Structure 1
Amino acid sequence: MRLVKLLANLGYGTRKEVQIAIRNGWVTDRAGNALKADARTAHDDILFDDEPLDPAQGMVLLLNKPVGYTCSTKDQGRLVYDLLPDRFRYRKPVLSTVGRLDRDTTGALLFTDDGTLLHRIISPKADVPKVYEAVLDRPLKGDEAALFASGTFLLDNDEKPLLPAELEVLGEKHARLTLHEGRYHQVRRMFAATGNHVTALARVKIGNLTLDGLEEGKWRLLDAGDLAKVFGE
């Protein structure tokens, strides 16, 4: 791929803006040699403003999402993309969230520009479990674990029962819930159906991938080992 197209696809600017950057000598190889617009230098050997390029297509990153951010590129207010470098919004193929977390839910959120990988993660066939921790308004009654694990639990306005989910009691008003599907506001609706209300909710694990010390509002790129953890390997 020609250098101009490569940089534009990575979000470093429009083709015109990238051409200006190249003419100004801001795009070099690792030896410091300015590159030409038609250069076919290896991706890993290219620097933009003395910094290595972002990963090529197939990039996956993990964000520790704070409260108050929406998983959208167009909604009003604060968006999860505001927590990433601006150029990530303009990558081609587009960098998409892998599923969604609602505005008031925090924790592990994946992004990728690999459509095949995205669909593999969210596919029911992959059975990638998601683990949530919920803080509740009222004490647990004691029958929630059996109810959620039954495979017959039906939410309001749904015609299909939920898949069995595992509940671990962490405190009087604190629980960890492992889901094997992803329905709209599922955790909140499950507890609401028992007469309770979720006051705080965080996704703490996707497959075997955890936030592992990642600070709230921060992100990191994932490698092959991380992706293996997503699929429980």
Structure 2
Amino acid sequence: MKVKLLRYLANLGYGTRRDVEWMLREGRVTDADGEVLYGDDKVPHAVIRLDGQPLDPPPGLVLMLNKPTGVTCSTKDHGQLVYDLLPERFALRDPVVSTVGRLDRDTSGLLLMTDDGQLLHRITSPKSGLDKVYEATLAQDLRGDEAATFASGTLLLEGEHKPLLPAELEVTGPRSARLTLHEGRYHQVRRMFAAVGNHVESLHRARVGGLELDGLAPGQWRYLDAADIDRLFGRG
């Protein structure tokens, strides 16, 4: 660790500098052997304990959340936010833990979050080639020509001048489908079905790159490790 412990803990969101000073004075911050640490100390992240517990991951944190419907991908908005589903200190970290892209309030499913700006850019960059899989329930029966339209590479969304990249549609029922996208435009799935005369009643993101929710319940989250990141980019 290159910075002093006082600043480091504050940057991890454990409180203001004053809050952390109080924790240190109370002897709540120790090493793994129970030896009290001080604000000027510079010690490895892995040995630090707060109230006897290891710290959250160091900068470079990545997590996966199964976002429920009714929750907004924002730091400030009306109603419930994704940050309400996480430890409060995550929103106070510096650098901040940000959503990787967004899912709208009415869309559920796999949402990645990280405080690693370079990784965030890498995931969202078109160069990454990460596909995203959505499961949609529709208001009307599918006509049968949607798959060909979405795969054509010629579909224009309302108000746009650049056609969509080809996308793959798998029909899973008269009014349900699985759609694989290779780009991420604003409300893209909903607008695609609107373009063919249908309406999305429910939408769930099931996969990003090589990552799936793997049984993670709505509202639950977990940290991602190096093996998960390899899977995300198709290396696992």
TM-score, normalisation: structure 2 = 0.97
Structure 2 match to 1:221: 223
Structure 2 match to 1:78: 80
Structure 1 match to 2:210: 208
Q: How does 1:124-203 map to 2 (within 5 A)?
A: 124-203=126-205
1: distance between equivalents of 2:96 and 2:168? 34
2: distance between equivalents of 1:101 and 1:49? 36
2: distance between equivalents of 1:172 and 1:228? 36
CA RMSD of aligned residues (A): 0.7
Structure 2 match to 1:17: 19
1: distance between equivalents of 2:137 and 2:227? 31
1: distance between equivalents of 2:49 and 2:146? 55
| Secondary structure of the corresponding residue to residue 202 of structure 2 | strand
> Offset at 1:127?
1.0
Give the letter aligned to residue 134 of structure 2: Y
- Per-residue CA deviations over 1:20-63 (Å, capped at 9, x if unaligned) read 00110111111111111111121000111121101111100000
Structure 2: any 5+ residue segments left out of the alignment? none
2: distance between equivalents of 1:171 and 1:133? 11
Give the letter aligned to residue 9 of structure 1: N
Structure 1: any 5+ residue segments left out of the alignment? none
Which of the numbers 25, 31, 34 marks the counterpart of 2:33? 31
> Offset at 1:151?
0.5
TM-score, normalisation: structure 1 = 0.99
| Secondary structure of the corresponding residue to residue 133 of structure 1 | strand
2: distance between equivalents of 1:23 and 1:141? 69
2: distance between equivalents of 1:213 and 1:6? 34
- Per-residue CA deviations over 1:146-198 (Å, capped at 9, x if unaligned) read 10000001111110000000111111111000001110100000011111111
2: distance between equivalents of 1:179 and 1:157? 19
1: distance between equivalents of 2:211 and 2:39? 40
1: distance between equivalents of 2:117 and 2:173? 39
Which of the numbers 45, 48, 58 marks the counterpart of 1:46? 48
Which runs of structure 1 show a deviation greater than 6 angstroms over 4 or more consecutive aligned residues? none
| Secondary structure of the corresponding residue to residue 232 of structure 1 | coil
Structure 2 match to 1:88: 90
| Secondary structure of the corresponding residue to residue 197 of structure 2 | coil
Task: State the number of aligned residues.
Answer: 233
Give the letter aligned to residue 191 of structure 1: F
Q: Percent identity?
A: 64
Give the letter aligned to residue 123 of structure 1: S
Give the letter aligned to residue 12 of structure 1: Y
2: distance between equivalents of 1:16 and 1:9? 13
